[in-house]
């Protein structure tokens, strides 16, 4: 029997730190337990711990040598190096494998990380089996890449013995939280739109789970005391028929969850979809607009139909759904006056919440590769959507202008009597949500 540590790392030093149960690494745990049932699997998530590096050391010492699977985003590139070094100092025979979006977007960067034995690029459900077989046969390779010709059967995350309460009082990926404990659920992977700024590892082909399988997962979560679910799909309504059938099944089963939706394409919504979302327990959804300027949108392969967006937002608002629109600044060649027009548009739009993200060029994206010469020279914890690193300025604004936007956008948007009164009427009335709203406003 081998000890296997599945470790999710998040950099808690960044101002926009949020966390949620890591369904990606829990899906891997499902695969590993099925294929290699005799091993002992241990879950570690630094985001829910204090003195996390000390606790990581305390975890590894009695079970080494072991296999450690790290999952990171690109923001944790430098943090991974620290944790890998800790693991090797404890026992040089510890085997360290790293994967996640942070590896997939730029696998070449990790060749010089002497403490990492192998990296896994892409979705790992199929690849991880090859890795473990190669470890058994002493044939571990430096890099493993997803074979995109092989379809992945998306597993249900391993929720056995999972402590949902660890995540209920931390800043989660949603601004709102109606009930606790909550759990993220992914119905589909992939997004077909190929936005030039996106570093998703899920590919551009839609891979949908069978609805019956998701319903079984939801019933299991309900039995474990979960009261709210967050649909974590990049684009939940990429297929209207699939989305509606899924919601109809939730309604039929009378599961009584509160539900939020992480990603909708607002242009692919209609009255029936919003009505089904509401009936199924939905209360909150997010969607991306990014920018109102047609030239800037063309540079990032997006389009906006203002009249259509307004029409659909009014429909969802009448049904009592809370909406959040995402906007960006620092787009390629964006001027300060273009940003101001976009901000005016955001204030006029009939949405409840707005987020203003700094467009950040990541490795592995066409825009990132065009504008950034050497990603390794930039600290990885600069790669988040509220950074002030001037090396990541790809607009025609000064860095001081970008910092001013970063500092003032939320205050200028939310410090309006009409907006505050409107939110107080609609948001869930609990201390967790009120605290998060205040944190958003004073960002």
8 Å CB contact between 209 and 187: yes
Q: Tell me: pLDDT of 202 over 80.
A: no
How far is 28 from 22, CA to CA, in rounded Å? 10
pLDDT tens per residue across span 53-87 = 999 999 999 999 999 999 999 999 999 999 999 99
Residue 160: asked if its preceding bond is cis (omega within 30°), the reply is no
Residue 192: half-sphere exposure toward Cβ, Cα within 13 Å: 10
- Residue 440 burial (CB count, 10 A): 16
Residue 197: pLDDT band by 50, 70, 90 thresholds?
A: confident
Helix 240-253 with 271-280: angle, nearest 10 deg: 30
Question: Would you call 106 helix, strand, or coil by DSSP?
Answer: coil
Entry pTM: 0.94
pLDDT on residue 442: 63
- Those residues whose C-beta lies under 8 Å from the C-beta of residue 412, and which sit 6 or more positions away, are 343
Domains of the chain: 3-145 (3.40.50.280), 173-441 (3.80.30.20)
Q: What percent of the chain has pLDDT over 90?
A: 78
Residue 65: asked if its preceding bond is cis (omega within 30°), the reply is yes
Query: What tokens were used for 374?
Result: 């050497």
Q: What percent of the chain has pLDDT over 70?
A: 98
Residue 228: pLDDT band by 50, 70, 90 thresholds?
A: very high
For the CA atoms of 47, 52, 53, 58, what is the dihedral angle to 10 degrees? -130
Residue 441: pLDDT band by 50, 70, 90 thresholds?
A: low
How far is 359 from 385, CA to CA, in rounded Å? 7
> H helices then E strands: how many in the chain?
15, 14
Task: For the chain, give the number of residues.
Answer: 443
Provide long-range contacts, Cβ within 8 A and 24+ apart, for 379-382.
Answer: 379/78, 380/11, 380/74, 380/75, 380/76, 380/77, 380/78, 380/79, 380/102, 381/11, 381/13, 381/14, 381/75, 381/78, 381/79
pLDDT on residue 19: 84
The string over 162-179, giving b where at least 16 C-beta atoms fall within 10 Å of a residue's C-beta and e elsewhere, is bebeebbeebbebbbbbb
How far is 146 from 128, CA to CA, in rounded Å? 10
Residue 259: pLDDT band by 50, 70, 90 thresholds?
A: very high
Q: Select the more confidently predicted residue: 17 or 178.
A: 178
User: Burial level of 408, CB count in 10 A (0-12/13-18/19+)?
Assistant: middle
Residue 358: pLDDT band by 50, 70, 90 thresholds?
A: very high
pLDDT on residue 62: 97
pLDDT on residue 298: 85
8 Å CB contact between 284 and 324: yes
8 Å CB contact between 9 and 52: no
- Please state the rounded mean pLDDT for residues 284-312: 90
Strand partners for 325: 287, 354
Work out whether strand 118-121 and strand 95-99 pair parallel, antiparallel, or are unpaired. Answer: parallel
Q: Tell me: pLDDT of 294 over 70.
A: yes
pLDDT on residue 343: 97
Query: Which residue in the block uniquely carries the two structure tokens 């570093």?
Result: 199
Q: Tell me: pLDDT of 90 over 80.
A: yes
Q: Tell me: pLDDT of 172 over 60.
A: yes
Q: Tell me: pLDDT of 152 over 90.
A: no
pLDDT on residue 31: 96
Residue 258: pLDDT band by 50, 70, 90 thresholds?
A: very high
Angle in degrees, CA 400, 403, 406, rounded to 5: 155
How far is 67 from 390, CA to CA, in rounded Å? 39
pLDDT tens per residue across span 389-431 = 999 999 999 999 999 999 999 999 999 999 988 988 888 887 7
Query: What tokens were used for 216?
Result: 């079984």
Residue 141: pLDDT band by 50, 70, 90 thresholds?
A: very high
- Please state the rounded mean pLDDT for residues 297-323: 91
pLDDT on residue 204: 73
Picking from 395, 335, 326, 315, the residue whose alpha carbon sits closest to that of residue 356 is 326
pLDDT tens per residue across span 91-108 = 999 999 999 999 999 998
């Amino acid at each position: 029997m081998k000890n296997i540590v599945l470790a999710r790392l998040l950099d808690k030093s960044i101002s926009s730190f949020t966390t949620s149960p890591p369904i990606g690494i829990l899906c891997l745990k499902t695969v590993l337990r099925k294929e290699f049932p005799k091993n002992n699997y241990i879950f570690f998530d630094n985001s829910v711990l204090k003195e996390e590096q000390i606790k990581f050391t305390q975890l590894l010492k009695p079970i080494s040598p072991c296999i450690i699977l790290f999952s990171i985003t690109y923001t944790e590139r430098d943090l991974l190096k620290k944790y890998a070094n800790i693991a090797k100092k404890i026992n040089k025979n510890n085997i360290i494998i790293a994967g996640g979006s942070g590896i997939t977007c730029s696998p070449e960067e990790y060749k010089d990380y002497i403490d990492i034995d192998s990296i896994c690029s892409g979705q790992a459900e199929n690849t991880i089996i090859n890795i473990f077989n190669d470890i058994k046969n002493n044939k571990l390779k430096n890099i493993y890449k997803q074979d995109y010709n092989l379809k992945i059967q998306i597993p249900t995350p391993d929720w056995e013995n999972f402590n949902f309460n660890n995540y209920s009082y931390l800043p989660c990926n949603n601004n709102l939280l109606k009930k606790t404990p909550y759990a993220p659920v992914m119905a589909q992977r992939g997004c077909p739109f190929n936005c030039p700024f996106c570093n998703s590892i899920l590919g551009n082909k839609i891979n949908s789970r069978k609805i019956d399988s998701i319903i079984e997962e939801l019933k299991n979560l309900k039995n474990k005391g979960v009261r709210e679910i967050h649909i974590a799909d990049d684009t939940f309504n990429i297929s209207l028929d699939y989305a509606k059938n899924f919601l109809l099944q939730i309604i039929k089963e009378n599961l009584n969850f509160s539900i939020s939706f992480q990603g909708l394409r607002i242009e692919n919504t209609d009255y029936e979809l919003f009505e089904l979302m509401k009936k199924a327990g939905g209360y909150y959804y997010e969607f991306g607009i990014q920018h109102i300027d047609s030239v800037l949108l063309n540079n990032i392969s997006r389009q906006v139909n203002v009249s259509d967006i307004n029409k659909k937002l009014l429909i969802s608002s009448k049904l009592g759904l809370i909406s959040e629109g995402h906007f960006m600044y620092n787009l390629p060649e964006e001027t300060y006056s273009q940003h101001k027009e976009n901000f005016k548009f955001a204030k006029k739009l009939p949405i409840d919440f707005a987020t203003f993200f700094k467009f950040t060029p990541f490795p592995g994206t066409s825009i990132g590769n065009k504008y950034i010469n050497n990603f390794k020279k930039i600290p990885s914890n600069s790669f988040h959507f509220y950074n002030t690193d001037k090396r990541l300025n790809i607009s025609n604004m000064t860095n001081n202008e970008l910092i001013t936007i970063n500092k003032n956008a939320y205050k200028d948007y939310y410090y309006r009597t009409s907006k505050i009164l409107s939110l107080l009427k609609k948001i869930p009335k609990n201390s967790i949500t009120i605290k998060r709203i205040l944190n958003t406003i004073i960002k």
